[in-house]
A and B are shown apart, each in its own frame.
Chain A
Amino acid sequence: MKYKTRDFGEIEIKESDVLTFTQPLFGFEDYKNFALIYNPEIGDSMAWLQSLDDPSLCFILFDPTPLMSFFKPQLPASVEKILGKGEYICWVICAIPDDIRKITVNLKSPVFINPLTKKMAQIILEQDYPIRFPLIKEDV
């Protein structure tokens, strides 16, 4: 099915690629269905989480693998109820202000996706991670 997107025009998204929030993004409780869109020039270190309900709603996600030396999210036991059994893919949400050097990611509340069930959830971790973690260190 064709969907309008915020940053990529109209694109084809397979029904099997539709992801559904069983625990939605905080403040965006009405938006459940999304798709991940990759920009071929960037690869899979970032992804666009495009709402399929509202073309103007889109989030940019960052793969936190480069941060794994200190970022080790531990999921609450209740996660299986929300996402179903399986492995979960962790993304963090980017906030990109006008000054791009001040880009931050939300390490406190990542988005977890179960690729088997296509369910996803934003989960507040018990761990004490910052909501606004700067991805780029200030240059001296």
Chain B
Amino acid sequence: MLVITRKINDSIIIELGDGRGNIEIKVLEVGNQIRLGIDAPVGYKVWRNEIYENVLANRMAASPAPLNVLDVVSKLSEKHK
């Protein structure tokens, strides 16, 4: 992990390369919590990481069950007996 020290109103630039633009992350407020401002090109989604974990889980859950779900349920009911 790259570790950089910044002061309030300083920012960092992440250059995406291949003409895809830059992401700028600016430190807006410092204290018990910090506030960040993020500028990213259209099409890039910015998530809080704890929410992103759920996004990934939801995307996986949305892919069609590849099987007869009845099999799953019968297996579950065996396990819970």
Q: Measuring CB to CB, which residues of chain A are less than 8 angstroms from any residue of chain B? A: 6-7, 25-28, 39, 41-42, 45-46, 57-60, 66, 93-98, 100-101, 103, 106, 108-109, 122, 124, 131-132, 135-137
Contacts and interface: CB of A to CB of B under 8 A. Distances in A.
B61 A106 contact: yes
Contacts of A103: 72, 76
Interface of B: 50-62, 64-67, 69-73, 75-77, 79-80
B61 A60 contact: yes
Given A39-B70, A122-B54, 13 more contacts: A27-B59, A28-B58, A45-B76, A45-B77, A46-B73, A66-B80, A95-B60, A96-B61, A108-B53, A124-B51, A124-B54, A131-B54, A135-B76
Contacts of B53: 108, 131
Q: Interface SS of chain A: helix, strand, loop or mixed?
A: loop
